[in-house]
Structure 1
Amino acid sequence: MTDSASNTLPATIDTLISAGWIIPIRPAQTVLKNHSIAIHNGEIVAILPTEQALQRFDAQYGIDLPQHVLCPGLINAHGHAAMSLFRGMADDTPLQQWLEQHIWPAEGQWVDEEFVRDGTQLAVAEMLRSGTTTFSDMYFFPNVVAKVASDAGMRAQITFPVFNFPTIWGQDPDDYIRKGLAVRDDFKHSDLVNVVFGPHAPYTVSDEALQKVAMLAAELDINIHIHVHETQKEVDDEVAQLGQRPLARLNALGVLSPKTQLVHMTALNADDIELVKQSGAHVIHCPQSNMKLASGFCPVQTLQAEGINVALGTDGAASNNSLDMFAELQTAALLAKVATGDASALGDWQALEAATLNGAKAMSLEHKLGSLEVGKQADIIAIDFSQLEQQPIYQPVSQLVYTACAQHVTHSWINGQQVMADRQLAHLDIREIKAKAQQWRDKITSPKH
């Protein structure tokens, strides 16, 4: 792979990263050995053999990683970052009980701007150290989440919540939408933050509010991110109450489109899948959270066979309990095999694409992210392949998917800027973040509360 305009490339560039292997995602199923990535003004300007790169470019910063693999930064397409402060609070509990008896009461008591700031910093640090460079977040005080991500140099899709009832962040659908669009205005010039609609779920948002979200999203040409068909009970309850399945209702209200991200999707029939296919909507698969809460599993193999884009998310750390996208893509690959009885289901390349390019597609960012190609933003991670537990190396992609890799991510760049070097974060103080997390634990578990 080389650039198509080599005669116009600057001799002086910002950064040159050389590595033992590069997995660019596009072209598909390509592994480049002993290649380099040239970066200038935040973009990839060339990918070529290291020997040629050293002759062509004078880099202000160069790094040689002969025992590392470079690949696109992972994209965590669904989560609730601040809920990292509830990690492990109510494990081994069914979903409704988990929500109604543990999480919702805790949120009502503890969640404020300070909680969201500290919890989001904890989550962002964890994600960066495990290879994620872009995340989607749905939570209260999205203005705070957006600022934390921006300050950390991390890319984020901020999905502001919409509910039919009052919460700590809003009073009614109009209030949520007004506040959310104000956050979007505040970050409209950001290179890192993209603010979109996040109606919570069909069972928490009315027809009128969903129609308004659909109308505004179409007018503003922005995405919609929504939990849907998370459990069979959710589907059965809506059929009993309204006489139709949630996806059919969303379709009738105009919510389904190529700009829609459907999260979880565990309880699907053939009609549901056909609706998603015809609408061009995307599915966000959260296998570990769904398994832990016994919610079911998303039929990834069937969806992909129908041409439906499937991306991956971790969900929140309160129900996962980690934000490790390498663990998530490994789980997705293994679950697809056991669910179908087909050992070839969601193979290693497909799993890696689900955690990179498919996430970019779901967020309408595939022109910028998800693969290492000339002209795209330089969102890159480096994974150390020199460790004992990774030997021997036959296929680098198989190694990424089926061998624990998060703790071996050593460097990352977002928009061409280095945000981690030798596992040290550039903009976040890990010691301070850990201390705040422990302070929240002590406060939440204090007997006087």
Structure 2
Amino acid sequence: MSLKVTVIGTGYLGATHAAAMAELGFEVLGLDVDSAKIEMLSAGRVPMYEPGLEELLSRHVAGVPGSTGRLRFTTSWEEVADFGDVHFVCVNTPQKHGEYACDMSFVDGAFESLAPHLKRPALVVGKSTVPVGSAARLAARLAELAPAGAGVELAWNPEFLREGFAVEDTLHPDRIVVGVASEGAEKLLREVYATPIEEGSPFVVADYATAELVKNAANSFLSTKISFINAMAEVCEAAGGDVVKLAEAIGHDERIGSKFLRAGIGFGGGCLPKDIRAFMARAGELGADQALTFLREVDSINMRRRTHMVELARTAVGGSFLGQRVAVLGAAFKPDSDDVRDSPALNVAGQIHLQGGQVTVYDPRGMDNARRLFPTLGYAPSALEAVRGAHVVLHLTEWREFRRLDPVELGEVAAAKVVLDGRNALDPQLWRAAGWTFRAMGRPNA
């Protein structure tokens, strides 16, 4: 393959995309302004946990014994511009402090740094989740700053990665969406994604605005589905119903489907919460805020679930957390990840701690990140040690390891055998048979 690819930003999205592009056969150069991160990646190691990513990366990083050598990393904008035919921008778009709106400073900074070095024709491809209208603005900025002028084009190619499945989602995407302004840009992207297209991945060609809206719409729909089943859990608790059976029944309807219908303490992470808020903010700027007012309730339901778990835990220990030991199983916002950004589990743990509870957390992968974010919480090296002496156990991240725990063994070290399942993933019969008082959100108490 003659095309050379660069990836700007080597965080979760960028590192995965760079390794996948090398796996697809391209020569790849990754860039980041963080020299420590570049040093780590150049040694074939990744700064986050993602199943299969480090193995994929080390298979291609130049200098790693036995690698293909197709993947290198740098901190030089000039080197990236000289090297690449296609430049993927994969930097972060966090929520602005104190606002719902998206912080575009990293994306804008990447374009401002790259464009002045683009002295020959190239395609710049945005993958970050951005407010609709950003691509058109950035295309104009590229034309203004790039020495190659009209020879530099922009495309928008949103990512749809699921943490825990990022490698699979990049190499075998369920769809590829590209927002382009020319046939030439489309042709280049068809060449980049030739392998997954041949394997059957749908290739959807759209304009800039539609491509940007696809990611916003997808995350809004998923968030709505999660909050819907959590709202049903609230109704089930009031009416004495079972939300797990309810979800099973409606999930058989092919128009609804069973995915994302597990009630619990809600969604978190670095995407869904901030993306739906940024979408609402942008709709307001466009004068279409009434179209998305329902997302405010989606967000409200989601945050309410965390508070509800705190209330359940407080009731379970007699009405006050003072002097009570609370074991929290889970810190990452989802299993198979060490990502603790906007983690419901840590949010619950933090609220209980602030109310006087002695909280001990255990997570198979997220401990180091959790400690950095919540240094005042207690941390244990295992689930058993987290539960030792606890008056209530909270299951808040659905790791496979937690589903395999032996409730009899845990019951021997707990101060009180009370477990609250915040993810509806544990087997109630198994825990109750071992003498535990078992409570799950939206389910009968017995």
Query: TM-score normalised to the size of structure 1?
Result: 0.24
Q: Which has the higher contact order (CA 8 A, sep 6+)?
A: 1
Query: TM-score normalised to the size of structure 2?
Result: 0.24
Larger Rg over CA atoms: 2
